[in-house]
Amino acid sequence: MSQVDIQPVIEFLKQLQDQICDALEDADGAGQFVEDSWQRAEGGGGRTRVLTDGQVIEQGGVNFSYVSGDSMPVSATAHRPELKGRSWQACGVSLVIHPKNPNIPTSHANVRFFIAEKEGETPVWWFGGGFDLTPFYPYEEDIIHWHQTAYDLCKPFGDDVYLNHKNWCDEYFYLKHRNETRGVGGLFFDDLNEWDFETCFAYIKAVGLGFIDAYVPIINKRKNAEYTEAQRVFQLYRRGRYVEFNLVYDRGTLFGLQTGGRTESILMSMPPLARWQYNYQPAPDSDEAKLYERYLKPQNWLNLS
């Protein structure tokens, strides 16, 4: 078994943050990320980078964090009771991009590593992460490209990895109170340690860099598409679902808030504008109706058996 070492993971994640920010700035063409470095009193810190009012990106954040503590929060020990009484370290890169143009989907990605230790006992560790896509006016070819990129990066790690992590994504990003998925999915995985450390680390590298290959071509293809004010209003309405998921279900948000994390960085994922409308119903046969009828439910986008 390869040696478990958090330091190379931290170094890769810092480089990944740089690469993603560079790629998104190039795609935007005007906006630039502003960095806010911070320290956490209980241990660790991070670099929050936010791009606001760009040419394409209305608001986007790409965060790196490394945090540590002497005991685990309730959100973690409820999921993994064996973590009680252990000190812990966690590092990750997380991002959410909210474009202006409703033809460009919102997107989220995250890669992370966690280790909990206790003297005289074997460390408990795992990787987690993934990426998912939330369109407002979907283009089938973009969704297939997104999932094909996910499939290709998973392939070297096993024939069943894509379908397992794709299905996990569909299940995780599901709003039970709305009976719909948040978007068209992608990859999601947690508690990944069934391979040795180096293989697991190689997988999150592939996922982190694969996000750039999956998302930037969609931005470039759709950023000049025309849209109406009505489409913009619908985009803001659908952004409300993003807020609902992050505040009600997202384990990362709960973990960050319960461990005394930096609130501004944790809630960076929220859209700059959103709206809610009582009992909204899309017009029959409209593009808005098609989103609900076809896209907000799990699909076999690559026609895999």
Q: Enumerate the known binding-site residues for a divalent metal cation.
A: 98, 108, 147, 177
Give dist(CA 265, CA 301) in Å, integer.
33
* Of 199, 191, 122, the residue nearest 158 (C-alpha): 199
Q: Enumerate the known binding-site residues.
A: 94, 98, 108, 110-112, 147, 177, 260-262
79, 108, 145, 165: the active-site residue: 108
Q: Which long-range contacts (CB under 8 A, 24 or more apart) does 126-129 make?
A: 126/190, 126/191, 126/192, 126/193, 126/200, 127/189, 127/192, 127/193, 127/200, 127/201, 127/203, 127/204, 128/189, 128/190, 128/191, 128/192, 129/92, 129/187, 129/188, 129/189, 129/204, 129/207, 129/208
Q: Nearest 5°: phi and psi at 186?
A: 155, -115
The token pair at 58 is 């209305």
Catalytic (active site) residue 108: yes
* Of 207, 206, 212, the residue nearest 23 (C-alpha): 212
Burial class (CB in 10 A: 0-12, 13-18, 19+), 243: middle
Active centre residues (catalytic): 108
